């Protein structure tokens, strides 16, 4: 997946017809239909609206025959090679294509990266540059087509490889820092001792220096440095960036981070306090405009990061329709060139790294304990907290000493849906319209005056955005379909895929964790993505992966036998009923987990009715227990399961006095 712009010469598909951008007159574009040559006119805003509604798609760039599935699913070696070649391409991207100028730029880049051993030739880098530009910046174009090559089997038996690994571990990867030659001599000694116990016809082949060197090269550089010089030395040696970078244009550099709002939110239906929601926001460093935001009860994770980035990439043309009362437009959107993240594990996932590669985004990690490295997003989150949360009934304050005897849960009045509207209204009508002291103008004016709409990078396949940003998993495709977390997904397209490519296939799937009612399955050969619904949509439709795990855990704890989807469907309805009962209790932790369970995506209105009971084919018998105990235990066990905490099993449940348990949990909170 690459990027594209609304500019002259761009080819797009609108409702099945192909058009080419001819010329722009004021805010109106003239598009020429490819087949008939007929000229049609569209307003800029209409084109953006069709893009957001997935009615307008960019025509794919020059096909990249060497590319893998939608997220550039490359092997580690190919991935490193693509990164290395891309560094040379970026060094000569704006350099004239003369031999002298290219050689100078390549030499400067080689002195910086020191890889490979000799600098690549100028004509080689020129070919990489041409392939990169023809593919609209898709990094997959830089990877060699090595899938069809032979010689894929190792030439040394597993016994030799095992002894070589032992030698590398004992000799090379230690603080004495032995050389490769010493490591080879140790491996030769180990193989020789083994051959003394074998007949001549079954002797092991002797390892070579090339084998030891290749095996050492496959070890991550950080791990090698850490083993030979110590962990602290490795952290210092492999720091990401040592200075602050000043952005020179919009979308050149963006920062993303999370925070907890200093505000207690109440349930939309019952009015009971739920807890403090989490916020994930992304800011454009040059204009200080907010590119996207996510508000909900999901803890910092790839799911919340993906929701925020989706809000960043697409224009917010339906903002006033979704949130009536907002006066100003939200002009900031698009694919950034550099994304700065901190040390959170959610930013180091393979899915996020491959999303950045697919969209040609440079992923920059901030060093540890350097909040100033991404100070703009840190400052915005603090400003938003003070402006939106502080002074509102239910605020928790930023400092515990500011609370006094104020009880935020008792005074909380704002719902999650209202909070989302308030935050977006404040960003669009207040923050973007106030003069920023560093810019000497408003962020909104800074954005509109410094970038043209046709210069904004957009995903060229908005219909595939959910595929690219989905959670990556590998599964087997059989006659039953694809299994994920106990659910099966199948469709006629998958049956046809098995007929073409094999009865039992290893396929890659992409999962939207906020809605597991359907998944995407990628063809191993063509990389085409198929949207596949769940075989039991009555159960899986509209629920998140976390909700599914909670329901599975509840059904496992309260049923003697496993009845599959039937049991989960009954457990789903029972959990929904018990949640309403548990909300009547004064348990803040349980309320926050319940809020996460019942949360809906921000683009959809919150549900206002309870899930109705569904008729089951063979309902599973579930033992009767007090409602509050079952919900509290179900959510607690679910969290323990996901965190890997062992649970204690007992034949007879222990019933504690209600008032003592409540007092204890209140003091714990």
Alpha-carbon distance of 370 to 541, in angstroms, equals 43
Query: At the top level of CATH, which class does the domain 254-459 belong to?
Result: alpha beta
Instruction: From 577, 578, 599, select the one nearest 267 (Cα to Cα).
Output: 599
Question: Any idea which architecture 3-58 has in CATH?
Answer: Roll (2.30)
Instruction: From 319, 248, 328, 240, select the one nearest 284 (Cα to Cα).
Output: 248
pLDDT of res. 270: 55
Residue indicated by tokens 């174009």: 141
- Backbone dihedral region of 54: left (phi > 0), alpha (psi from -120 to 50 degrees) or beta? left
Where in the chain are all domains bearing CATH 3.30.420.10? 254-459
Q: Report the run of H or E that residue 554 belongs to, with start and end.
A: helix 545-558
Instruction: From 540, 423, 325, 454, select the one nearest 47 (Cα to Cα).
Output: 454
Instruction: Let me know: does 596 contact 546? Beta carbons within 8 Å.
Output: yes
Instruction: Let me know: does 541 contact 574? Beta carbons within 8 Å.
Output: no
Where in the chain are all domains bearing CATH 2.30.30? 3-58
Q: Label each residue of 125-176 as H, E or C.
A: HHHHHHHHHHCCCCHHHHCCCCCCCCCCCCCCCHHHHHHHHHHHHHHHCCCC
Q: Which residue positions in the chain have pLDDT lower than 70?
A: 1-2, 60-74, 146-152, 236, 239-245, 267-273, 369, 390-413, 559-669
Per CATH, the number for 470-539 is 2.40.50
Residue indicated by tokens 């396929």: 507
Where in the chain are all domains bearing CATH 2.40.50? 470-539
Alpha-carbon distance of 494 to 163, in angstroms, equals 44
Contacts of residue 439, defined as CB under 8 A and 6 or more positions apart, other chains included, come to 287, 288, 446
pLDDT of res. 148: 62
Name the token pair of 642: 């996901």
């Amino acid at each position: 997946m690459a990027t594209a712009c609304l500019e002259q010469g761009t080819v797009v598909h609108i409702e099945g017809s192909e058009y080419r951008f001819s010329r722009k007159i004021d805010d109106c574009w003239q598009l020429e239909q490819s087949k008939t040559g007929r000229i049609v006119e569209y307003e800029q805003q209409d084109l953006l609206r069709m893009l957001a509604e997935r009615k307008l798609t960019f025509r794919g760039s020059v096909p990249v025959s060497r590319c893998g599935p939608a997220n550039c699913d490359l092997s580690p070696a190919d991935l490193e090679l693509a990164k290395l070649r891309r560094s040379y391409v970026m060094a000569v991207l704006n350099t004239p294509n003369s031999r002298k100028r290219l050689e100078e730029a390549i030499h400067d880049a080689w002195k910086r990266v020191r890889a490979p051993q000799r600098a690549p030739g100028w004509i080689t880098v020129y070919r990489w540059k041409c392939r990169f530009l023809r593919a609209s910046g898709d990094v997959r174009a830089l990877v060699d087509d090595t899938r069809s090559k032979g010689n894929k089997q190792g030439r040394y038996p597993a016994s030799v490889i095992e002894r070589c690994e032992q030698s590398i571990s004992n000799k090379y990867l230690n603080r004495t820092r032995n050389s490769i030659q010493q490591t080879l001599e140790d491996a030769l000694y180990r193989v020789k001792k083994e051959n003394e116990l074998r007949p001549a016809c079954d002797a092991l082949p002797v390892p070579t220096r090339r084998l030891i060197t290749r095996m050492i090269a496959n070890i991550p550089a950080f791990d090698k440095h850490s083993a030979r010089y110590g962990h602290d030395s490795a952290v210092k040696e492999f720091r990401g960036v040592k200075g602050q970078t000043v952005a020179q244009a919009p979308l050149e550099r963006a920062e993303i981070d999370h925070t907890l709002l200093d505000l207690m939110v109440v349930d939309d239906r019952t009015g009971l306090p739920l807890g403090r929601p989490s916020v994930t926001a992304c800011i454009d460093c040059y204009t200080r405009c907010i590119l996207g935001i996510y508000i909900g009860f999901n803890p910092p994770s790839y799911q919340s990061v993906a929701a925020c980035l989706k809000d960043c990439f697409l224009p917010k043309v339906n903002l006033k329709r979704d949130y009536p009362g907002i006066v100003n437009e939200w002009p900031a959107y698009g694919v950034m060139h550099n994304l700065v993240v901190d040390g959170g594990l959610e930013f180091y996932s393979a899915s996020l790294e491959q999303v950045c590669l697919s969209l040609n985004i440079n992923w920059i990690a901030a060093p540890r304990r350097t909040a100033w490295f991404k100070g703009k997003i840190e400052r915005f989150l603090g400003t938003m907290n003070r402006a939106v949360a502080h002074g509102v009934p239910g605020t928790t304050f930023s400092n515990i000493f500011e609370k006094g005897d104020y009880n935020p849960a008792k005074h909380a009045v704002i719902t999650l849906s209202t909070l989302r509207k308030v935050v977006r209204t404040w960003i669009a009508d207040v923050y973007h319209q106030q003069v920023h002291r560093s810019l000497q103008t408003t962020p909104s004016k800074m954005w509109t005056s410094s970038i043209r709409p046709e210069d904004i990078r957009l995903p060229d396949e908005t219909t595939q955005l959910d595929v690219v940003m989905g959670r990556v998993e590998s599964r087997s495709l059989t006659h039953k379909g694809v299994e994920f977390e106990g659910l099966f997904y199948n469709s006629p397209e998958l049956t046809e895929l098995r007929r073409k490519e094999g009865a039992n296939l290893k396929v890659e799937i992409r999962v939207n964790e906020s809605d597991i009612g359907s998944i995407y399955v990628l063809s191993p050969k063509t990389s085409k993505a198929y949207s596949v619904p769940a075989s039991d949509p009555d159960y899986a439709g509209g629920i998140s992966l976390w909700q599914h795990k909670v329901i599975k855990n509840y059904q496992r704890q309260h049923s003697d036998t496993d009845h599959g989807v039937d049991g989960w469907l009954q457990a789903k309805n029972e959990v929904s009923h018990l949640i309403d009962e548990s909300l009547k209790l004064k348990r803040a932790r349980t309320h926050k987990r319940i809020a996460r369970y019942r949360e809906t995506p921000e683009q959809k209105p919150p549900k206002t009715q309870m899930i109705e009971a569904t008729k089951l084919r063979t309902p599973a018998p579930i033992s009767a227990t007090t409602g509050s105990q079952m919900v509290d235990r179900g959510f607690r066990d679910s969290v323990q399961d996901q965190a890997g905490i062992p649970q204690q099993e007992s034949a007879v449940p222990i019933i504690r006095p209600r008032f003592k348990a409540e007092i204890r949990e209140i003091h714990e909170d």
